[in-house]
Structure 1
């Protein structure tokens, strides 16, 4: 297993789906994972350190884990079957280590909130051609100041982003 970080979040214009790009830590190989809009919003909110009026489901998961005295040791992208990725969250609890089957998108959103490392099998990492436009927005850089966004404001923000703001993905 290789430790990876969230390099960026983008929109695949070919499928109109969100893609989270994981990059090997200290390396250049990538792992693109197509995810749903709610998970993309949650990851984007955490990456940019935005505040919501009410907690999201991933915020609730963080609160449950820590409130019950647990901690997230790591997230592992475990395998891919028929274009579906699988992940596992390893939680330390009073009863010992507990492995929880989860979707990678949810696992990533929770790992970002808890500062837990993310790992992927080496065979899933690949050299992916990612075009970087000069005016492309790199969503992995936090905004200079925290903002409080309502659900409507966040939706408007996401709807006004252009595919060019994310770069082009050619998996």
Structure 2
């Protein structure tokens, strides 16, 4: 397994779906995973350090794990089948270790909140192929600019991301239609 980190969030211009980009630590390979708007928002809020007075959905799971005496040690993004990615939460409690099947988007949001490491396979990183916006390319307009809002720009500082999220209207995220 290869350690990865959240490199950025973006929007697939073809599907208008949010995409989380994972990048291998110390390397240049990336793994794009298409996710829902709610999960993208949960990831973006944690990356920006935004906290709410009451726990949101992705805040509850870490509280539950800790309350039961466990620790989320790592998240494994294990495979893709029919364009669906699979992940596992690896939890330890005392001498016990167990895994829970989970969606990668939820797993990433929870891992960010618990500071758990993210891992994926060499095969997934090798077979991923996307275009990541280069320096100076604007893939995400500023909310309130009149352009369609699609997500924060890759490479924003935490303060810029916080400001982006403050200006974001929930309607800008679009609607999820299963």
Class of the TM-score when normalised by the shorter of the 2 chains: 0.7 to 0.9
**TM superposition outliers: structure 1 runs of 4+ over 3 Å:** 144-147
Contact 2:48/2:161 (8 A) holds in 1: no
Distance 1:157 1:139, change over 3 A: farther
Match in the other structure for 1:138: 154
**Equivalent position SS for 1:129:** coil
The whole-number CA distance in structure 1 between the counterparts of 2:110 and 2:48 is: 15
Match in the other structure for 2:172: 159
The whole-number CA distance in structure 1 between the counterparts of 2:65 and 2:155 is: 27
Distance 1:130 1:144, change over 3 A: closer
Distance 1:90 1:42, change over 3 A: same
Unaligned runs of 5+ in 2: 139-152, 174-178
Distance 1:127 1:141, change over 3 A: farther
- Deviation of 1:93 after TM superposition, in Å, equals 1.5
TM-score by length of 2: 0.78
- Deviation of 1:127 after TM superposition, in Å, equals 5.1
1:64 corresponds to 2:80: no
TM-score by length of 1: 0.81
Deviates more, 1:23-32 or 1:129-138: 129-138
Aligned ranges 1:1-171 → 2 under 5 Å: 1-94=1-94, 96-125=96-125, 126=128, 128-132=130-134, 134=136, 136=138, 137-138=153-154, 141-143=157-159, 156=169, 159=172
